[in-house]
Structure 1
Amino acid sequence: MVSAQGSRESPAPGFPAQVVRLRGHDLSYVDTGSGSAILFIHGLLGSHDNWTHLLDRLDNAHRVLIPDLFGHGASAKPVGDYSLGSHAAILRDLVDQLGIPKVTLVGHSLGGGIAMQFCYLFPERVEALVLVASGGLGRTVSPLLRSATLPGAELVLPVIASTWVRERVEGVGKAVRGLGWRPSADASAAWKGFTSLSDGESRRAFLATTRGVIDPGGQTVSARGQLVTAEHLRTLVIWGTRDRMIPVGHAQRAREVFPEAEIVLFEGAGHFPHLEQPDRFAGVLEGFIHG
């Protein structure tokens, strides 16, 4: 069932992707190291690439799993269910397939919502939970994502994600970099995610996923009042103080679900604190896991 894959989207050097057949479709993932298992879950338009820079810090003491969710990266993009529950069930199938009894979940943005759904559905499989700029803790979300839920978005996306538009935006970016401007890790990650919408399968999966958790008014799925077993779950919440995708105020709301949660704010970071301040992120994560 599990074999090396000639990956369409290569992970970090020395960490080749593997592929497993789950529910009739190929799921691509990185699996390295040994010890207690950490399962990283990327956000909307993300992939394993959002996490692989942490591998050298973690895989000496832990088994690290980094899947590409269905609809993302090198994994299949089938027509079907892209709800939080479906994603969580697929990840449970992955750890079952690999014979892993329990995992520490680290979820970013959409991945945080999936991680909380995993806790709700499979609490006996969760060692601890880390939420990074997580969805599912309040209504507010970027107008950019809300716009993807509007009627006609499927007609607009092929135009704004077209090669013609991307080449011109990249040309402008190259010109301003020549003047000394450098994009932040936040901006680079967002742009890389946007460029993944160049093919129809990815756009369809993106719209299905987005519309499963967001409507024109904001986020539609909330963990508040749902995770009744969460008060005893060891939980860490990490957020950037300049997050423009999901406001940092949602970090404090996590305590309504996880009363004993540890909250760490990354001053000056945006929606991707693990990319913008990777050394601090790795240190905080290690301290929490071993604490």
Structure 2
Amino acid sequence: MTDGSTQASGQMPGTAGTPPRCLPMTESGPADSIGAPVVLLHGFGGDASGFAALQEPLSAVRRTLAFDLPGHGRALDWPQRGGAGVAARAVRDSLDALALDRVHLVGHSMGGAAAALIALKAPERIASLTLLAPGGFGREINAMLLRRYAAARDRAMLEPVLEQFFGLEFDLPPLVVAQAAEARARPGVTQALTEIVETLLDSRTQQTLPVGSLAALEAPVKVVWGTQDNVLPTRQAHKLPGTIATHVFDRVGHMPHLEIPEAVTRLIREQLAHG
């Protein structure tokens, strides 16, 4: 049993040395729990800490690992920067380094697209797939907002941009703004995000995933969206194949894991039961 969370910069807790090509991670929950662990992949401009509200309750029943994706957080200096494809390869390498053969994957936005790519590449490793406002489900994307977010360098620039990521009735926590501003103060962060955002965009649109192939996966797939998503329109969740369970929440924006963490946790726990 682990007590609380362990933060590691590419290092397995309790072991000497660094596994090859392992992303930095925050690990929590019982290391000897029965069942595949939960792996959490954040969205563009985020990091592992954004999943704290999910990791705490999930860790009561299952080992959980939240990675910092290339060019983000503790992986700012990862050898290769890029969007969902780069993140997917880095996560697969990390799962290999940690000897994790099968996992429950949860991904938000860009991390959702990365999780989907991992599932398509190695379906036998996926116990379940939970995608929170994922990228790649349609061509439309708020490219202007993402570029402004990538270029924001201080709190004055960040706060009005961050507000656009949440539902209209959600009170943006000051801590979220403070943490984002603190992260942007690090040398090289805005440069990295400015580079990465262009790999996500095709001018003013985004590349799409083969949704039909996702629907054909044997593992259960859930998609979670908010009706007030100002980054990726909710209609991308409409009329998905019937084998994909779609959960659309009213008055929720692009950050369901922060806006409605209890509901999202419940949906993930349903996936654990299936797995």
| Matching residue of 1:40 | 40
Secondary structure of the residue that 1:74 maps to in structure 2?
helix
Distance 1:194 1:283, change over 3 A: same
CA distance change for structure 1 residues 254 and 136 in 2, over 3 Å: closer, same or farther?
A: farther
User: Secondary structure of 1:106's match?
Assistant: strand
SS state at 2:252 partner: coil
Other-structure match for 1:91: 91
Deviation at 1:227, TM superposition (A): 3.2
Question: Pairwise mapping of residues 144-155 of structure 1 onto structure 2 (< 5 A)?
Answer: 144-145=144-145, 147=147
Q: CA 1:128–1:196 in structure 2 vs 1: closer, same or farther (change >3 Å)?
A: same
TM-score normalised per structure 1: 0.75
Which secondary structure does the structure 1 equivalent of 2:37 belong to? strand
SS in 2 for 1:100: coil
CA displacement at 1:272 relative to structure 2: 0.7
d(CA) in 1 for partners of 2:256 and 2:157?
A: 28
Work out the percentage of aligned pairs sharing the same amino acid: 25
Structure 2 residue aligned with 1:17: 7
Residues 1:268 and 1:83: Cα distance change in structure 2 (over 3 Å): closer
The separation in 2 between residues aligned to 1:264 and 1:182, in whole angstroms, is 19
SS in 2 for 1:222: coil
Q: Which whole-Å deviations, capped at 9, do the CAs of 1:194-243 have from their partners, x for residues lacking one?
A: 66333442223212321112133211x21136737834331011111111
Instruction: Give the greater-gyration-radius structure (CA).
Output: 1
Counterparts of 1:229 and 1:244 in 2: how far apart (Å)?
25
What is the match of residue 76 of structure 2?
A: 76
1:29 equivalenced with 2:12 (yes/no): no
Change (3 A) 1:229 1:265: closer
The question of whether the paired residues in 2 share the 8 Å contact of 1:48 and 1:68 is answered with yes
Give the aligned partner of residue 132 of structure 2.
Answer: 132
CA–CA separation in structure 2 for the residues paired with 1:109 and 1:190: 19
Amino acid at match of 1:272: M
SS in 1 for 2:45: coil
Report the CA distance shift for 1:126/1:95 in structure 2 as closer, same or farther (over 3 A): same
Unaligned runs of 5+ in 1: 1-12, 171-180
Q: Deviations over 1:130-171 (max 9, x none)?
A: 11001000111114346469xxx9xxx3xx51x5xx35877x
Q: Measure the CA separation in 1 of the matches of 2:47 and 2:193.
A: 13
What secondary structure sits across from 1:62 in the alignment? coil
Query: Unpaired runs of 5+ in structure 2?
Result: 11-17, 160-168
Label 1:122 to 1:198 Cα distance change in 2 as closer, same or farther (>3 A): same
